[in-house]
Amino acid sequence: MTVFGVPELEDLETALGGLEGKSILVRVDFNVPMSGGEITDDLRMQAALPTLQWLQERGAKVTACSHRGRPKGEPNPEFSMDPVRAHLATLAPGVALLENLRFNPGETSNDPAFVASLVEGHDGYVNDAFGASHREHASIVGPPATLPSAAGRLLAKEVDVILGVRDQARRPFVAIMGGAKVSDKLSVIESLLTKVDSIIVGGGMAFTFLKAKGHDVGDSLLEVDMVDTCARLLDSGATIHLPQDITALGGGGKLFDPEAGGEVRQAGVNLSAGWMGVDIGPYSAALFTDVILDAGTVLWNGPMGVFEDPRFQAGTRAVAEAMAETRAFTVVGGGDSAAAAKQFGVDRSVDHVSTGGGASLELIEQGDLPGLTALRS
């Protein structure tokens, strides 16, 4: 058993009296980014290989299953697993891959009939899809009710690392929170405030915090109904680092389209109407870098700005490079943060890049996930 009470692969091998000739269903997270029909980042596939290969080496017949995208419960060629299946054949020859689980509405509704169709003909089940284990979907919570089951290597590692950071972090413990909306991450921010020494806030959500401090945010992203909540958090006594300057885009400008016009300007924390904050400024980047370099543990979830637009990537780049430079134990919480770490070439310089943004946040907040609970059943 692992420290979180979930069976491991060795436990499954024991339960089945060996794996030679056994048929094992493995839930993986192969929801990989694609462009023009080509996989642009196979991190999640690479991360599943230790589990798939371990099972194959012991003679198991391995069938993987995954979702990709949001096909709304019906077949959609745009989200076919065919290109993923072709790449998997080069990474782990002999591993079969089912069609997109979400082509069936029973996946997201946790339909018992769909669960039954998944487990039919299989002797055991492995959950190695950390990035989907916060979902009570059929392929995550259903199979353990009827099959001997275990956590794969990736799932076990993710949980060990993230719970270890949450509960046994070296101090100072710094969390970096970015992204668009406070409302999306409010509960995890409140949870983190009881565990960390300070939080750095960037991205679109920073403007709601700045508004709560009485600043004018121009046309920046703002959640009006969250201003009072941000004011409460700021008044809580917790150390919350906010941007001290902003990179702003003027009227007429468009994100991802420099030719559209619109002036790009460095500004303070008060923006006039017609100006939209799209990144932290250089002074803020330097301040945040200092906090990261002085930390003992850093958890990063969310970019500092619209880093996909080259004009507004400086803030996120600075944070990424500080994550690579610091002596702290560093965890990148999946999603856009993982994409940014890869874009700026630091993904191999941090201690852990999670394969699940939402799952990592829920695990930090709740200390558990539906997928883990199911494996304990």
3 state SS for 198-212? EEEECCCCHHHHHHH
Residue 87 domain flag: yes
Give 310's contacts (C-beta < 8 A, 6+ positions apart): none
Number of domains in the chain: 2
Whether 130 and 210 map to the same domain: the answer is: no
Whether 221 and 96 map to the same domain: the answer is: no
Whether 300 and 271 map to the same domain: the answer is: yes
Residue 105 domain flag: yes
DSSP 170: P
Q: Are 316 and 243 in contact, with CB atoms under 8 Å apart?
A: no
Rounded-to-integer distance, Cα 247 and Cα 191, Å: 30
Rounded-to-integer distance, Cα 336 and Cα 302, Å: 6
Q: What is the span of the domain harbouring residue 34?
A: 9-153
Beta-bridge mates of residue 348: none
> pLDDT of 320-370, one tens digit each?
999 999 999 999 987 889 999 999 999 999 999 999 888 998 999 899 999
Q: Are 230 and 253 in contact, with CB atoms under 8 Å apart?
A: no
∠ CA 187-67-15, nearest 5°, is: 90
DSSP 221: -
* Residues classed as catalytic: 44, 181, 335, 358
Whether 46 and 126 map to the same domain: the answer is: yes
> pLDDT of 39-97, one tens digit each?
988 989 999 999 999 999 999 999 999 999 999 899 999 999 999 999 999 999 999 99
Residue 65 domain flag: yes
Q: What is the mean pLDDT of the chain?
A: 95
Rounded-to-integer distance, Cα 139 and Cα 28, Å: 10
pTM of the model: 0.90
Residue 301 domain flag: yes
CATH for 124: 3.40.50.1260
